Chain A
Amino acid sequence: MTSEKPEGRILIRFLPALTGLARRGLAGWAILIGSAIVAVVGVITVTSPWISPHDPIAINVGPILSPPSFEFPLGTNHLGQDMLSRVYCGGAIMFQVAIISMIVCLVVGVPVGLFASYAGGHIDQLASLVMDSIYAFPGLVLAIAIAAMLGPGVVNMALSIAVVYVPSYFRIVRSQVLTIKELPYVEAARMMGARRSAILFSYILPNVIASVAAVATINFADAILTAAGLTFVGLGLPVSIPDWGWDLTYGRRLLTSGAWWVITFPGIMVVLLALGFTLMGEGLSELLNPRLQK
């Protein structure tokens, strides 16, 4: 591993952290394997414009519905599009949607959680009521409803997913804040004459952030599945963008004609990506919990 390649240098710097994780038992391995999976999928997605043999949305680059062959390793679909290129490029949209929705969730869910639960009383009750109502809906159903209202587009899709997941962020922040705000060090901060914002951001938030990170990674996995679900039912994205969910929709229909490869490979990618994030998230919360308890 030469330190000439920038990737190599990054790896060297992270090596101690990686081995440290490996020693932390199952949870550490979960994080390592999960991040590895995500990294691989991420690299594929990022480099997809260069490594795709064909334009993923170009039709008729090959014979329609041809099974995996040397020329088209993952076969072609009913429009003659190359499945390999579609699998490479389909992730980009997933990532975009999931990242945007996570940002929205963080920007909305965390501050609302912080302020509402610290303030307590009616504000807290109101916020909890709103969040619990949203939480009560099955995620995909709600996302579909909102996406249908907002119309197609990456941002709209991200927004509909964000609405579904904001309550999770709110809840985890709230449960942490309720515990922390009774602790002596918050009382001490009040004794020092700290303003409410100072208390929230210097004393409460840093102790809450760890749990938020764990929830965020798990929600990311969920968001990806929901995004795939949305495009699966035809909402959210125009056909001109390569997307695994779209492939899943048509792949399902094509199964009956025996073309198993159209649904399988994109399906594997979706599952892999979700799995990767879930592993990371579960590993993170495993690791963080015992330390919190100590």
Chain B
Amino acid sequence: MPLLDIQSLVVEYRTPKASVKAVDRVSLSVEKGHTLGLVGESGCGKSTLGLSIVRLVPPPGRVTSGQITLDGIDVAGCSDEEIRRVRGKRVGYIFQDPMTSLNPVKKIGDHFIEMINTHEPGISRENALKRAAETLQSLGILPERIDDFPHQFSGGMRQRVMIGLALALNPDLLIADEPTTSLDVIVEAQIIELLKHLKESLDLTLVLITHNIGIVAETADRVAVMYAGRIAELGETGDLFERPMHPYTKALLNSVPNITKKDQILSWIPGAPPDLAEPPPGCLYHPRCPFAFGRCRNEDPQLLKRNNSSVACHLYEKR
């Protein structure tokens, strides 16, 4: 049984002006110990999807239908009490911006203690501090820094603290939303290596949300490509990069520069992602797709299984 199973999830943002489906009928699953890379550009709904797994979608966003099952627990439907127990203990979350995700007036050690106390209220301060120091050490931070404040840490260190906090209670699943976007190149590599190392040593299941195709290629076992709130393609990393099926995947891969390739010619996708308040009919990608034909303009493609992958595109329908 997969650790995380999402079935036909729909997350809507309802405002008086319009109702927008940030996530539209998304189904995917992650096996224990695997890494799923959730890839897409800004506005595709990947962050919303991540937040919905821990029920932290900000209002006016709401999960309006579908199921999210985490190791048997119905995350979308369970009580508030239950979801609070899930957050931190079963699922760790690394938010997008380490600069603002830490409380500037709290020492780093206190961040950890608060985290540990919430789920293990009986624990003594001493023990909690010890655990925090150990965690920091495993992250490559000197344990003496436990009394420092966030502003005394650099961006990379803060991100490590975030990772530490997310893992402090030994969750089964770790969701990382753009963990390296605001970091320098070398620090980014350090964090990626750290994540890979932690994945191994803790047998972590990881959902990596990013727009950086490179880190997904490096760390993910399976990749899900999202566009305008839907899954365009889903498959093993190797397959997806070598034989991309969906036209969006193909175009996306061709638009990313690879420094090891000589004389690469980059392409791009004309136009812009659709306005989800007034989506085009049929396939949401068809206005920008060079392969669009009649059906694409009218009918919404379903997610079809092809070998070990899935793709939502009319081109792959069996006649």
Contacts and interface: CB of A to CB of B under 8 A. Distances in A.
Interface of A: 23-25
4 contacts: A23-B16, A23-B17, A24-B16, A25-B16
Contacts of A25: 16
A294 to B, nearest CB: 12
Nearest to A28: B16
Nearest to A23: B16
A23 B16 CA distance: 7
Interface in B192-235: none
A24 B16 CA distance: 8
Contacts of B16: 23-25
Contacts of A23: 16-17
A25 B16 CA distance: 9
A141 B16 CA distance: 46
Would you list the 4 A-B pairs with minimal beta carbon distance, nearest first?
A: A23-B16, A25-B16, A23-B17, A24-B16
- The dominant DSSP class at the B interface is loop
B172 to A, nearest CB: 37
For chain B, give the interface size range. Answer: under 10
Interface in B1-32: 16-17
Contacts of B17: 23
A23 B17 CA distance: 9
Nearest to A25: B16
Contacts of A24: 16
Interface string B156-185: 000000000000000000000000000000
A71 to B, nearest CB: 51
B183 to A, nearest CB: 22
A127 B16 CA distance: 44
Nearest to A24: B16
Nearest to B16: A23
A274 to B, nearest CB: 30
B170 to A, nearest CB: 38
A290 to B, nearest CB: 12
A88 B16 CA distance: 40
A23 to B, nearest CB: 5
Nearest to B17: A23
A24 B15 CA distance: 10
A104 B273 CA distance: 49
B20 to A, nearest CB: 15
A23 B15 CA distance: 10
B136 to A, nearest CB: 35
A25 B60 CA distance: 14
B277 to A, nearest CB: 15
B12 to A, nearest CB: 19
A196 B51 CA distance: 46
A24 B17 CA distance: 9
A123 B17 CA distance: 46
B133 to A, nearest CB: 39
B16 to A, nearest CB: 5
A270 to B, nearest CB: 35
Interface string B59-98: 0000000000000000000000000000000000000000
B93 to A, nearest CB: 24
B160 to A, nearest CB: 30
A168 to B, nearest CB: 30
